[in-house]
């Protein structure tokens, strides 16, 4: 017997979904979030406007899913931070890489648009926290708990607070463009946080 | 001789300016930033639309000035943080008060709107940094330098970094609604930062 393949309509739907999400990301980069329209997404993706309205409730929702698709790994596996046993080196490497990613226009424009929407839309903020922030936070927390077990961070420190203090100044500087998001800043942040939560803190 | 008074047109202009800025803040609170229009501001302030367009280049610019007006003290004096000699107590008091202010709807809606605009408008972001963030940062820096002189913070610590680590997690939590902005969180933040920058840090 031949292996079962998905029916044509399912494959066609998946192709349309990918085309819509790709078109959304491209258009945000090209025209900005404010001038992004469902019409333009439909035209670029080669689908009817009604297809988009059937699957998404708002422009913000399409943008959200277009970014979520970026963070989904092809093998369906979860996110994990590197763990070489040296928490200082690992955090600096990961945050330097993130800083580079945040200055890439293809990534920068859509994530900035999403942040704008989140600030004014509590429902979207909740979806963001659940689907994007939570898995990322879990990965960061796992790496920090490993550092606690290795005696590199105080065992009784609140991991959520460590994440806030480590990442908020980084995100804030990017979001408000208040200063350069460079290696020097990243390293100073990591050093500060490791000092605040070192095992022998009084 | 009678004291000179400003000509009628100057006083009328100032009255219109105050009416426009007040109407802007009221309307943001009532209808939200997205649905705020120049027409509605003009109607509420009792001025013509053209008056607003003559003085401001965009909706974002009016909103910005309406908030700036809030932070201008009537006597024209600068901002200063309390200095009782105990930096821990002073920072906790100021940040707890700010947290309460940030949960007041009359303040919350316009400042959230402004933050949205800033994220997407580099020019407005620059104006915000220059006119609002800079004086606030200078006041915070002055209080922290006083703590350095009093031996409560490491004398060689980077004051800008201290401000980032102290305030960014606070702003971020409020902006993204990622958790309660309560006394417990404020106190934990202050404790963390004082630990990271204490004078005897190794």
Over residues B157-195, the pLDDT tens digits come to 999 999 999 999 999 898 888 889 999 999 999 999 999
Spatial separation of the C-alpha atoms in residues A194 and A188, rounded to whole Å: 10
With CB atoms and an 8 Å threshold, state whether A189 touches B133: no
B48–chain A nearest CA distance, Å: 27
Q: What's the token pair of residue B35?
A: 């649905």
Q: What spatial distance separates the first Cα and last Cα of chain A, rounded to whole Å? A: 70
> What local confidence, expressed as pLDDT, does residue B71 receive?
66
Averaged pLDDT, A103-127: 79
Q: How far apart are CA A168 and CA A45, in angstroms?
A: 35
CB B125 within 8 A of CB A175: no
- Chain B residues with CB under 8 Å of A180 CB are none
Report the distance separating Cα B107 and Cα B181, nearest Å: 15
Residue with tokens 């280049």: B57
Residue B63 has pLDDT above 50, yes or no: yes
**What would the mean pLDDT of A93-108 be, rounded to a whole number?**
86
Comparison of pLDDT for B192 and A78, the residue scoring more: B192
Question: What CATH homologous superfamily does A8-58 map to?
Answer: Homeodomain-like (1.10.10.60)
Per-residue pLDDT for A71 more than 70?
no
Tokens of residue B39, six digits: 């027409």
Q: Are B192 and A161 inside 8 Å of each other by CB?
A: yes
Q: What angle do CA A111, A112, A117 make, to 5 degrees?
A: 95
Interface test with A, best of B128, B195, B202 (most A CBs within 10 A): B195
Structure confidence at residue A161 as a pLDDT band (50, 70, 90): very high
State pLDDT tens for residues A123-134.
888 888 888 888
Q: Identify the contact set of chain A against chain B, taking CB-CB distances under 8 A.
A: 32-34, 112-113, 115-116, 118-120, 122, 125, 128-129, 133, 158, 160-161, 164-165, 168-169, 171-173, 175-179, 188-189, 192-193, 195-197, 201
Q: In this structure, are residues A98 and A158 in contact, taking their beta carbons and an 8 Å threshold? A: no
Residue A68 has pLDDT above 90, yes or no: no
Rounded Cα gap, residues A111 and A122, in angstroms: 17
pLDDT band at B148 (very low <50, low <70, confident <90, very high): very high
The C-alpha atoms of residue B202 and residue B187 are separated, in whole angstroms, by: 23
Tell me what pLDDT residue A155 has.
95
Mean per-residue pLDDT for B52-77?
A: 78
Backbone angles phi and psi of B107, in degrees to 5: -95, -35
pLDDT-derived band at A76 (thresholds 50, 70, 90) equals very low
* Contact state of B176 with A32 under an 8 Å Cβ cutoff: no
Contact criterion met (CB < 8 Å) for A172 and B173: no
Query: Who among A116, A165, A173 is closest to B116 (CB)?
Result: A116
What does the alpha-carbon distance between residue B42 and residue B59 come to, in Å, rounded to a whole number?
A: 12
Average pLDDT on A61-77 reads: 71
> Where in the sequence of chain A do the CATH 1.10.10.60 domains occur?
8-58
User: What CATH code is assigned to A87-196?
Assistant: 1.10.357.10
- CATH code 1.10.357.10 region(s) in chain A: 87-196
User: How far A33 CA lies from chain B's nearest CA (Å)?
Assistant: 9
Q: Helices B8-31 and B38-45 sit at what angle, rounded to 10 degrees?
A: 130
Q: CA B170, CA B176: separation in Å to the nearest integer?
A: 10
Contact flag B120-A122 (C-beta cutoff 8 Å) = no
Rounded to whole angstroms, the Cα distance separating A124 from A128 reads: 6
Put simply, the answer to whether B33 touches A120 (Cβ < 8 Å) is yes
Quick check: A83 pLDDT over 90?
yes
Which residues are CB-contacts of A81 (< 8 A; sequence separation ≥ 6)?
A90, A94, A139, A140, A142, A143
């Amino acid at each position: 017997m031949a292996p079962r393949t998905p029916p044509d309509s399912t494959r066609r739907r998946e192709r349309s979904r990918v085309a819509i999400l790709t078109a959304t990301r491209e258009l945000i980069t090209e025209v900005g979030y404010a001038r992004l329209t469902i019409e333009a997404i439909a035209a670029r993706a080669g689908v009817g406007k009604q297809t988009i309205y059937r699957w998404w409730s708002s422009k913000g929702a399409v943008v959200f899913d277009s970014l979520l698709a970026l963070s989904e790994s092809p093998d369906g596996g979860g996110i994990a931070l590197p763990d070489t046993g040296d928490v200082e080196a690992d955090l600096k490497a990961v945050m330097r890489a993130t800083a580079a990613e945040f200055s890439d226009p293809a990534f920068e424009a859509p994530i900035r648009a999403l942040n704008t929407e989140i600030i004014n839309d509590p429902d979207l903020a909740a979806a963001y926290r659940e689907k994007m922030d939570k898995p990322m936070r879990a990965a960061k927390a796992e790496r920090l708990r490993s550092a606690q077990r290795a005696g590199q961070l105080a065992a009784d420190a609140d991991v959520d607070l460590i994440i806030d203090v480590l990442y908020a100044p980084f995100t804030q500087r990017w979001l408000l463009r208040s200063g350069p998001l460079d290696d020097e800043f990243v390293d100073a942040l990591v050093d500060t946080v490791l000092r605040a939560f070192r095992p022998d803190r009084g």
